[in-house]
Each structure stands twice: as C-alpha cells, then as structure tokens.
Structure 1
Amino acid sequence: MSGGYATAAVLEKVEAAFMYQLESGTPAPAVTDMGMASEWIGGGAVLAVRRDVTEYWNKAVGFGFDEPVTDELIGRVCEFYRKHDAPMAVLQIAPAALPDDWDDIRAHYGLEPGGAVVKSTHDLLFIDAQKTDLGVGEVDVHGARQWASTLLRAFGMPEEGLAEMIAAAVGSPGFRCYAAWDGDEIVAVGGAFVHGDVTELWGGATLPSHQRRGAQSSLLAIRLLDAKAAGCRMAVVETAAEGPGERNQSFHNVLRLGFSPQYERRNWVWRPARQAR
C-alpha cells in the first residue's frame, strides 16, 4: 500500500467532513433521543451517540493534519466522550499521522487496538459499467425512509433513532444516495458524499435475500460515473481489512472495479473505565 502523509490528509479530511455532516444533520428529536453530540477538535470530527448499541457511531476521525496528534489532543477527545456519557468510542488515525510516542499516549488513555479498515481510491479515469437484473438509480426524498431502513437492516443495525439520521442524508447538500430495487422494494443501497473534488463512498450494503446478483458492483459503478460527471478527480472507500485466512468480498469488489489500496488504518477503542488516572 502506497498512501503517504499527503494522501492521508486528503482522505481523512473527506471522511471527517462526511461523518460530521451525516451525524450533525440528524433531526432534533432523534438527536435528543439518541444523545447525539458532535464537535470539531484539532481538525478532527468527534461524534458521540450515547444510546448507540452498535458501537459504530461513537467515532473520532481526521486527526494529525491541522495539528499534530499529542497526549493533550487525545485528552480533549476523551474528555468530550466523558462529557457526553459515551459508553465507548473509536478513534481512527491514519498511520502516517501517528506520533513516535503513540504507544505511550494510547496507554495513558486506555486505548485498545480494535479492527482495521483499508482506505482505497479510484482515479475515475476508466470506469466499467456493471450488469445486474435489479433496477439501479438515485433515490429521492420520497424513498428516504425505505432507503435508510434497508441500509440499517443490511448492516444488522436497529432502526430506532438511526433511521432518522440516515434518512436525513437523502437530498442533503453534498449527499447522493443510490439503491437497487426488486420491483418496488429497495434491496441494496450505496451512498456518496462529494467534498470539493473528492467523493466519499459509504453505506454499501445488500439484503441477504438479494446478494450475489451484482447489486453492489452496479452501485459502485454508478457512483463512480456520477462522481466523474460532477468533476471529481478521485473517489475513496473504506472496507474492512482482511485477517489471516479471511476474505472480505467488499474489498475484492472495489479492487475489481479499479480501486487501489492506500493504507490500512487501525481502530483504537476507548472505554471510560480503562483510562488511566
């Protein structure tokens, strides 16, 4: 993998902008009900969802570029999560932005290594259309709730509270949301977030009943084509990293469509009980 500091700065900042706008755009009743909070700290997006049972949405990303990653910066991030009674949080820092004393910093705050993702990019020069027997296209606001429901069910997440957040992305500035239909039913989804001349691809998922019918490859292709038409120079996507003996079909789908892996980024998991005093 070839991604260096300059590449990481672009990719991490795009993801931070996407995550911040997604969570901060949640309708007020759901924000209150789910205990949501969002803030920019040291150039990174820091997002809390107190009632998140999935351990996915308490997330901090985008650090090390506006200011360096230091013990003091991580302390501010952890204090944010304490303030908002978050049960846990995942800090995501590109390897190129980790300081030499990272092991000491993470030990101080009780950060434990979790899973990892691979950040991959596409230069949008050559995009092959993909075939599926499903109908594929962009979703408008009338289909927002069904789109959100399909995304959450496909990822095994509860709809309460989260559906309002996901549905609010449809039609919001910067967001474009796509689906594959079987008749009138949305059976697969994929989102795009345009930030400057880079598009972040997110939320690619298919219901188990409709997997292996080409939905995700087609949704990737249409998002890449639309990103190119919008004047973007690059698209970026995250997929789970493969462990020994594992095969992640999403990762191999993006490789097949011309994406290039840039770097693998470790999750660092914070829980309040682990933090050293």
Structure 2
Amino acid sequence: MRHLPSEELIHRIQHSETDYMQDRMKAIEGRPGNPEGVEIEQFGQALCLYSRTMPWLSFNTVKGIKSEDSIHLDAIIDFYKSRDRKFQFEIVPAMVNQDLLSSLAARGFYQSAFHNSMYMNPQELKDMPDAGIVIKTIDKDEFEAYARIHCLGTGLPDQGIPSVALNNRVLHSRPGWSFYMAYAGEQPAAAGVMYMNHSNASLTFAATLPEFRRQGLQQQLLRRRIWDAKQAGCSLVVGQCAFLSQSHRNMETVGMKLGYVRTTWTEREA
C-alpha cells in the first residue's frame, strides 16, 4: 500500500530521522570515558545533540522542534553557547508555525539550507539487487575499510579514518544497525548504512570512493537495504539527500518519493 502525503506521515518520517541519530549518539556516548564528549538534552519536543570533539553541524543539531517549543528557545541556545559551539535547527514543515520561525529570526537565526527527506513503503519494491554487483554486510574487523570509504567518499581527511572506524564499530552489534559494502571486483568501493526500529527503516549514510562513482553501486546499495527492510517487515523506509543531487536521482529511480523539504537554520555571523 502506497503512503499518501499527510501530517501523520510527516511526523513518522521525522521520528525515524530523529530516532536513528539519537541511537547513534547514545552509542558513541557509551564508549569508555565518552571520548567524543557527547551530550544529549531534551527541551520539550526538541532533541539537542552535542559533541565536544566533533564540531560538524550534523553532530550539533536540534531535531524534532515543534511550535510549542518556542518557550524553550533561549534554553536551547544557552545549551550550545555555554559549550561555545555553532549549531543548527532542523525545521520540518507542518511541525512549526510562523511564531516559532519569527522567534528564531529575532534571535539572529536565518534559513541557511534545504534538505530532502525521501520515503517509500519497502513492500512495494519488486526488484532485488543486481546479482552482478557484490554487496556484503560488514564484519566487525572491516570498519577500517568502511571508514576509508566514509572519509574519502565525503571529502574528510585521512586522519579521520581511525575515529570514524571507532564511532561506527560501536554500532555493529547494536540492535537495528546494518552496515553494507559494495565491491568493484575485489575492491571495497562503496558503503551504505541502515537502522531499523519497529516498522521504520532509515538509510542513514552512503558514500562511494571517487574513482568508482557512476557505476550503479549506490542504486544497488539502496535496493539491497530496502529489500532487507522489506524482508524484516518494515512498512516505511526513509532517506535524506540534497535536492537534485545524484543521491536524489538514485532514490527516485528505486521508487522513493519526496516526503518534505526540511530547512536548516543557523546563527548569523557577528
């Protein structure tokens, strides 16, 4: 059964996105001594994620904020300012009203980016992954190879490979998480990650080494993950991508549709 656009569907997509990121951060926080300095705070419906050692906005973000959370804006801003950290608000259509948006603007925040949230019912997927492309789930001792694809495929420096390996290895045996590698010959060439919880599956990450792009690896990684979600009985698969990116095209090709375009709000530079 195809999902039709509705406020209920929007909330379900948003919950899926928040759910996987919260679980990821909890796993990293649970490493001995919490070396990445992860903190997770809740203000009303707004989930605030922070890392002392990972300054990227995806690890320092406010998710799930709703109109009624306007009363918590100053507390949220203070949470990050007291830690001297730049952060972002993720704003989802149908979850906020004009009052919250004007309150953000009054506090020096502006809409700085757009991002797609895509979805489909995996039970609609009819095509299995192409048997000509080898895709395997990752064993615990393969996270250095995974981290290499993660870093080089997203433009991060080689120095980040050990940290990325550690912060993803903690997810290997954690319920709901699956890591996949696609091969070009015998060479690990692309990777994808999925998190399943209840009847929802989130396609949380994907990357391809630059020299192996445009070979259909990501489309097959999408099909494999969606197929596995179908076999697990999920009724919703969610993924994120930049508008009109290759990831957007790949997701449309395999049958995913646009759920909504969320906006990112960041503070103006002084």
Q: Equivalences for 1:149-168 in 2 at 5 Å?
A: 149-158=148-157, 159=160, 161-168=163-170
Superposed displacement of residue 79, structure 1: 2.0
1:28 alignment counterpart: 31
Q: Structure 1 residues 7, 264: closer, same or farther in 2, change over 3 A?
A: same
Task: Report the counterpart of residue 245 of structure 1 in structure 2.
Answer: none
Specify every segment of 5 or more residues in structure 1 that has no aligned partner in the other structure, as ranges: 243-247
- 1:6 equivalenced with 2:5 (yes/no): no
* Residue type of the alignment partner of 2:110: E
1:215-274 deviations in Å (ceiling 9; x for gaps)? 1011000101100111101101111124xxxxx111011001001111111111136x66
Identify the residue that residue 110 of structure 2 maps to in structure 1.
112
Rounded to whole Å, the distance in 2 between the matches of 1:104 and 1:14 is 27
User: What percent identity do the matched residue pairs reach?
Assistant: 23
Take 1:130 and 1:230, find their aligned partners in 2: how far apart are those partners? 16
User: Which aligned pairs between 1:127-276 and structure 2 lie closer than 5 A?
Assistant: 127-131=126-130, 133-158=132-157, 159=160, 161-242=163-244, 248-270=245-267
User: Matches of 2:69 and 2:65 in 1, distance apart?
Assistant: 10
Query: Which residue of 2 is the match for residue 96 of structure 1?
Result: 94
CA distance in 2, matches of 1:109, 1:195: 36
Counterparts of 2:203 and 2:126, CA distance in 1: 15
Kindly provide the CA deviation profile for residues 151-184 of structure 1, in whole angstroms up to 9, marking residues without a partner as x: 1221112416343222322221111111112355
Please, which runs of 5 or more residues in structure 2 have no aligned partner?
none
Question: TM-score when scaled to structure 2?
Answer: 0.88
The offset of 1:5, in angstroms, is 2.3
Change (3 A) 1:135 1:20: same
The verdict on how the C-alpha distance between 1:230 and 1:42 changes in structure 2, with shifts beyond 3 A counting, is same
Equivalent position amino acid for 2:250 in 1: N
Q: Contact 2:46/2:69 (CA < 8 Å) preserved in 1?
A: no
1:3–1:263 Cα contact (<8 Å) kept:
no
> Normalising to structure 1: TM-score of the pair?
0.85
Deviations 1:92-127 (A, max 9, x none): 121111112133211233212121111111111223
Alpha-carbon spacing, 1:116–1:127, altered in 2? closer, same or farther (3 Å): farther
**Map of 2:59 onto structure 1:** 57
Local SS of the residue matching 1:225? helix
Shift of 1:39: 2.4
Moved over 4 A (4+): none
Deviation at 1:148, TM superposition (A): 2.7
Contact 1:62 1:92 (8 Å CA) reproduced: yes
Letter in 2 for 1:225: W
After TM superposition, give the deviation of residue 14 of structure 1 in Å: 1.3
